Amino acid sequence: MKTPKKVNLANIPTPLEIVKYQNKKFLMKRDDLTGCELSGNKVRKLEYIIADAIKNKADIIFTCGGEQSNHARATTIAARKFGMPVKLFLWGSDRKIPGGNLFLNKMYGAEILYLNKNDYEKVNDIMQYQREKLLRKNINAYVIPEGGSTATGIFGYFSFIMELMKQIDLRKIKGIVTASGSGGTSAGILAAISYLNLDVQIVAVNVLYSKEVITKKILTLAEALNLEYDLNTKIKSENLLVLDGYSEEGYKNISEDKIKLIRSFAAETGILFDPAYTGKAFVAYQENYLSRNLGMKYIFVHTGGLFGVFGREKEYLI
Ligand SMILES: Cc1ncc(COP(=O)(O)O)c(C=O)c1O
């Protein structure tokens, strides 16, 4: 097996905690604690991506996402740490008073191009076009696709399993539950579980794409990692379970009943979920596992996203 180079950005290992909610205990892997402003699941991916950008002599980093993208914010901060400027291609519009992740992107000096929904569908072409334009001026832009989900980036979630193995006997665990946006987090975990030939289910709660699309994305990414880093393994597609139907209000929205659960959970445990990813994933976890007393068999991964709460105070305080 080959291992990509990395830079150190994340405070790892993150804790594996036993959390008690409504008299039921469950395991939570606290990847929201990979850092402070540079926090959440994206930091693990960025450790490998930034190392690759440095290897490729990048002059500037391009990436994309929604206007409250955690990935865009984490990329901006990581790139700035290594002295690289950043241009973000965001689905949304500028705000007089930007909140949450958008505020931080401005704070850290990212250049931002806002795209409407239609244009955002072509964001990869737009980033490539702008890259070519800069290349003519001898400026090398390193393009990171949505969510940092490349074979190199998701190696961060392959390593995550190696870390988790030291914290718990994974042979005693039935499943690992995460929110799934671009699919890279679930894909890295799936590749590692396949490599180790463990019988652990990868439960992906899709918040952005349809079940069919995200299933394909996760399997394609896991296979890309397998090939790129010579894992020589058979990806256990049968271990992937996509839990659908927990983001029917849309990626940028969250229903009142989910907010109520987030608030009750925060008040009881001191742990806050975000509206786009972890809040929805936890509702799925609660319904399918925690309510059936399976919390010590299924690990819930808190993937971060705290800044997505800010700017949505009105909704949270219903
Ligand atoms: C807080 C949070 N959780 C989960 C995810 C999903 O990760 P992935 O894109 O690797 O599926 C993201 C990605 O944007 C995120 O920001």
Q: What's the pLDDT at 317? A: 84
185 Cβ inside 6 Å of ligand 1? yes
Q: Global pTM?
A: 0.97
C-alpha to C-alpha distances, 289 to 32, 48, 71, nearest whole angstrom: 21, 33, 28
Report the pLDDT value the prediction gives residue 25, as an integer from 0 to 100: 98
Q: Is there an atom of ligand 1 within 6 Å of 34 CB? A: no
Select from 47, 60, 77, 75 the least CA-distant residue to 146. Answer: 75
Asked if pLDDT for residue 50 goes beyond 80, the answer is: yes
Residue 65 has pLDDT above 90, yes or no: yes
Please, which residues bridge with residue 287 across strands? none
Residues 6+ apart with CB under 8 A from 303: 31, 32, 40, 41, 178, 179, 185, 277, 278, 281
If we measure between CA atoms, which residue out of 255, 240, 124 comes closest to residue 191?
Answer: 240
pLDDT value at position 271? 98
Task: Categorize the per-residue pLDDT at 5 as very low, low, confident or very high, splitting at 50, 70 and 90.
Answer: very high
Which of 286, 298, 91, 81 minimizes the C-alpha distance to 201?
298
Q: Which of 14, 42, 49, 150 to mutate to test the pocket of ligand 1 (most atoms within 8 A of CB)?
A: 42
CA of 133 to the centre of ligand 1 (A): 30
* pLDDT 10s digits, 76-127: 999 999 999 999 999 999 988 899 999 999 999 999 999 999 999 999 999 9
Q: Counting atoms of ligand 1 from 1, which one is nearest the CA of 146?
A: 9
Mean of all residue pLDDT scores within the chain = 97
Q: Specify the pLDDT at position 314.
A: 83
Q: pLDDT tens-digit profile of 268-305? A: 999 999 999 999 999 999 999 999 999 999 999 999 99
Ligand 1 atom at minimum distance from 308 CA? 1
Distance, first Cα to last Cα, the chain = 51
Cβ-based neighbours of 97, under 8 Å, separated by 6 or more: none
Collapsed DSSP state (helix, strand, coil) of residue 153: coil
Q: Does pLDDT of 312 surpass 90?
A: no
- pLDDT on residue 36: 97
Task: Kindly list the structural domains of the chain, giving each domain's residue range(s) and its CATH number in brackets, ordered by start.
Answer: 16-41+150-316 (3.40.50.1100), 43-148 (3.40.50.1100)
pLDDT tens digits, residue range 147-161? Answer: 999 999 999 999 999
Residue 318's pLDDT is what?
A: 72
| Count of H-run helices and E-run strands, the chain | 11, 10
pLDDT value, residue 55: 98
Residue 214's nearest CA partner among 171, 235, 185, 174 is 185
Taking CA atoms only, the protein residue closest to ligand 1 atom 16 is 70
Of 106, 104, 110, 41, nearest to 79 (Cα)? Answer: 110
Torsion of CA 260, 263, 266, 267, to 10 degrees: -110
* Residues 6+ away with beta carbon under 8 Å from 219: 187, 190, 235, 237, 240
Instruction: Give the DSSP letter of residue 38.
Output: S
Main-chain phi, psi angles of 139, to 5 degrees: -105, 125
pLDDT, one tens digit per residue, over 161-188 is: 999 999 999 999 999 999 999 999 999 9
Whether the CB-CB separation of 40 and 31 falls below 8 Å is answered with: yes
Candidate from 303, 307, 310 with most ligand 1 atoms within 8 A of CB, to mutate: 303
Phi-psi label, residue 242: left if phi above 0, alpha if psi -120 to 50, beta otherwise: beta
Per-residue model confidence as pLDDT tens digits over 189-206: 999 999 999 999 999 999
DSSP code string of 10-21:
S--SPPEEEEEE
Which pLDDT band holds residue 44 (cuts at 50, 70, 90)?
very high
Mean pLDDT of 26-45: 98
**Strand 298-302 to strand 24-30: parallel, antiparallel, or no bridges (unpaired)?**
parallel
Nearest ligand 1 atom to the CA of 180 is: 11
Q: How far apart are CA 159 and CA 26, in angstroms?
A: 23
